[in-house]
Amino acid sequence: MNGPRLWEILAASQADGAALASSTTQTSLLHATGKYTMAAGYAEFVGRRFKTRLHGRISTLNPTPGTFTLSFRMGAVDAFSSGAMTLNTGAAKTNVTFWAEFEGTLRVSGSVAQIFGQWKVESEAFAIASATAGVTGVTFGPSSAPALGNAFDATAAETIDVTGQWNTSSASNSITIHQSIIEVG
pLDDT digits (tens, 9 = 90+) for 90-123: 888 999 999 999 999 999 999 999 999 999 999 9
Question: Which amino acid is located at 9 in the chain?
Answer: I
In this predicted model, which residue has the larger pLDDT, 42 or 182?
182
Bridge partners (DSSP) listed for residue 8: 184
Residues sharing a CB contact under 8 Å with residue 109, sequence separation 6 or more, in sequence order: 44, 45, 46, 154
Residue ranges in the chain assigned as alpha helix (H): none
Q: Model's pTM, two decimal places?
A: 0.90
Distance CA 7, CA 13 (A): 17
Question: Looking at the domain assignment, is residue 46 inside a domain?
Answer: yes
Question: Looking at the domain assignment, is residue 13 inside a domain?
Answer: yes
End-to-end CA distance of the chain: 11
Question: Looking at the domain assignment, is residue 154 inside a domain?
Answer: yes
Residues sharing a CB contact under 8 Å with residue 25, sequence separation 6 or more, in sequence order: 165
Question: Looking at the domain assignment, is residue 25 inside a domain?
Answer: yes
pLDDT mean over 26-30: 98
Question: Looking at the domain assignment, is residue 153 inside a domain?
Answer: yes
- SS3 assignment for 120-137: EEEECCECCCCCCCCCCE
Number of folded domains that form the chain: 1
pLDDT digits (tens, 9 = 90+) for 75-99: 999 999 999 998 888 888 999 999 9
Question: Looking at the domain assignment, is residue 1 inside a domain?
Answer: no
Question: Looking at the domain assignment, is residue 3 inside a domain?
Answer: no
Q: Provide the domain limits for residue 164.
A: 8-184
Question: Looking at the domain assignment, is residue 54 inside a domain?
Answer: yes
